[in-house]
């Protein structure tokens, strides 16, 4: 398998996303507790889930933009309690600042440094991680999010846009990610190569486009790639 550049997924590839989002939600709740406690009384976890579903249904053209969806949720939570919905920007900034405090998987940083020393790297993510705020942007040529691009993986357009910015044909770019559908199938259908971070050691469950290489962690994958 030969390639000239890589695109990397971020959440659940370089770091686990669940604890990060949980911490960000705790930070947002702390803001509400200080500035708008009535919101916490009115909106429990189940109510927020229903609200998110309503927001996605109301703004189908924005469903790829997680930042927009989160801000709109905060706006409606405030407005429904009779509060100034313009303060949604404040609580969102608290949320998104905490969202950037990620903890990389063991060995991921060293592996990323080794990979970036050999290949051009680009981040392609459906999430809203900010590599500059996280402190990893020096390892990447650029980062392309679904919110910026206007469509989320597995849409082929976001993969092809990344290849165009890299200046390298899709068939010579390897995409690395953890999700079989959005990462592996999405990349392969767009004409890229694909590597799967298969943490649980699951069998490939699709009839098409199996990954060309897989590993249980990003660090392990990079070691195998650099041995080729």
Question: Would you please indicate which residues are annotated as catalytic (active-site) residues?
Answer: 9
Q: What angle is formed at CA 65 by the lines to CA 60 and CA 70, rounded to 5 degrees?
A: 95
SS3 (DSSP) at 191: coil
Q: Give the number of other CB atoms < 10 A from CB of residue 106.
A: 11
**Residue 175 to residue 160: CA distance in whole angstroms:** 11
**Residue 92 to residue 188: CA distance in whole angstroms:** 35
Q: Give the number of other CB atoms < 10 A from CB of residue 27.
A: 17
Contact indicator for 176, 7 with CB cutoff of 8 Å:
yes
Phi-psi bin for 98: left (phi > 0), alpha (psi -120 to 50), beta?
alpha
Report the relative pairing of strands 142-145 and 173-177 from DSSP bridges.
unpaired
**Residue 5 to residue 166: CA distance in whole angstroms:** 8
Q: Give the number of other CB atoms < 10 A from CB of residue 173.
A: 27
Contact indicator for 159, 192 with CB cutoff of 8 Å:
yes
Contact indicator for 33, 203 with CB cutoff of 8 Å:
no
């Amino acid at each position: 398998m030969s390639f000239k550049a890589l695109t990397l997924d971020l959440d659940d590839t370089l770091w686990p996303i669940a604890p990060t989002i949980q911490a960000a939600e705790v930070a947002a709740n702390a803001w509400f507790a200080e500035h708008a406690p009535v919101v916490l009384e009115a909106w429990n976890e189940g109510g927020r889930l229903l609200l998110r579903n309503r927001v996605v249904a109301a703004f189908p053209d924005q469903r790829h933009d997680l930042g927009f969806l989160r801000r709109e949720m905060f706006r409606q939570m405030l407005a429904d309690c009779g509060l100034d919905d313009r303060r949604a920007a404040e609580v969102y900034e608290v949320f998104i600042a905490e969202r950037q405090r990620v903890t990389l998987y063991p060995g991921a940083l060293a592996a990323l440094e080794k990979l970036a020393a050999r290949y051009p790297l680009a981040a392609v993510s459906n999430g809203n991680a900010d590599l500059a705020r996280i402190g990893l942007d020096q390892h990447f040529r650029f980062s392309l999010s679904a919110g910026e691009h206007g469509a989320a993986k597995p849409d082929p357009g976001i993969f092809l846009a990344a290849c165009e910015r890299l200046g390298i044909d899709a068939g010579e770019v390897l995409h690395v990610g953890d999700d079989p559908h959005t990462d592996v199938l999405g990349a392969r259908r767009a004409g890229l190569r694909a590597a799967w971070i298969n943490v649980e050691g699951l069998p490939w469950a699709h009839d098409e486009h199996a990954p060309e290489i897989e590993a249980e962690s990003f660090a392990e994958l990079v070691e195998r790639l650099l041995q080729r």
